[in-house]
Amino acid sequence: MRLMISGGGTGGHIYPALALIDALKAHDPHAEVQYVGTHRGLENRIVPERGIDFKTIKIQGFKRSISLQNVKTVYLFLKSVVTARKYIKAFKPDVVVGTGGYVSGAVVFAAARMHIPTVIHEQNSVVGVTNKFLSRYVDKIAISFESARSQFPADKVVMTGNPRAQQVAGIQKTGALAQFGLKPDVPTALIFGGSRGAARINAAAAAAVPELNQRDYQTLFVTGQVHYDKIMDRLAATPPADNVKIEPYIKNMPAILPEVAVILGRAGATSIAEITALGIPSILVPSPYVTNDHQTKNAQSLVEAGAAEIVTEADLTATSLLNVVDRLMGSATQRASMAEHARKLGMPDAADQLLAVLESVRH
């Protein structure tokens, strides 16, 4: 298979694409892949590091208010479609896949107009602007949440799950927490606001450290690189005890997840895919800064299944954090129940499911 794939801007669009590529290569080592992204997004660093053929397109998103920038946006979109057509003609893909972000809009639209089989993948429960636009032109639409189904043309939708789930589903415990000085036989709570950190989560967790120092469970608190020094300065008078470890960043986060008893963090699509694939009880603090509040709707699907609890960012304080973490860490029975419900939502073969969709449109 010759696969052209496009997704950019955030890890939520990039990591599912990379997971799909890994699954394709596992099934067909001779498959050819070309990734089309932007020169400014995270994909510009992450994708080339993986040795994947990478092309860029210059594009930008629409402003939600009336703006002259939107005139430039339309111009860049039309220009990017022309560029995408050139890449498509040169690469000659069997199928083109979009995983979200404005760049995928130009690439998938160009492919559809050239009558090349096209598929889009929607990671969230609320459909993004780009995928909503592309849904009229593509052959198939893969979704990760049932709640997204009604937002697309019904005859095109296939439930596949998020390919990222397949990447982490088989990860086993390896004693990875020991590298942080944590004990493998003591339950550990992970507090993590995403790779860049989340200011409100960090503030609540930092304020809770003096109490967390007194608990009989362990806490691993990942601040994000840009927040780390400020938090450590704040805690100079009450430093973390041996059972509380504070790190700026963890390069291989999936490696430690099987050893985590509870995770408190955001409700992005990648996080949801990982915690359901591994069956981790979660306390979700949806970001209020995302389009259409989709993280709240992502989180609600887990809450309704008995796999998670929600704390809104507005309600998150040191006290509320301690209350919910103490309650779950103090009940192995509740954690086991939540873990089982989370696993039922997970789709450990999601990448293979999406590959099957690609094969269906290719023929």
DSSP 123-166: -SSS--HHHHHHTTT-SEEEESSGGGGGGS-GGGEEE---THHH
> Distance (Å, rounded) from C-alpha 153 to C-alpha 320?
41
Structure tokens at 241: 């005890």
241 CB contacts (<8 Å, ≥6 apart)?
213, 214
In the numeric block, the tokens 């189904």 are attached to 149
Dihedral pair phi/psi, residue 217, rounded to 5°: -105, 170
What residue type is assigned to position 161 of the chain? G
Q: Is 12 annotated as a binding residue?
A: yes
11 annotated binding-site participant = yes
334 is in an annotated binding site: no
Residue among 278, 277, 279, 297 at smallest CA distance from 287: 297
Closest CA to 265 of 284, 239, 247: 284
DSSP state for residue 39 in the 8-state scheme: S
Question: Is 223 annotated as belonging to a binding site?
Answer: no
Residue 361 CA, distance from chain mean position: 26
**Residue type at 222?**
V
Whether 278 and 346 have beta carbons less than 8 Å apart is answered as: yes
Annotated binding-site residue? 10: yes
Binding residues for UDP-N-acetyl-alpha-D-glucosamine: 10-12, 124, 195, 250, 295
Binding residues: 10-12, 124, 195, 250, 295
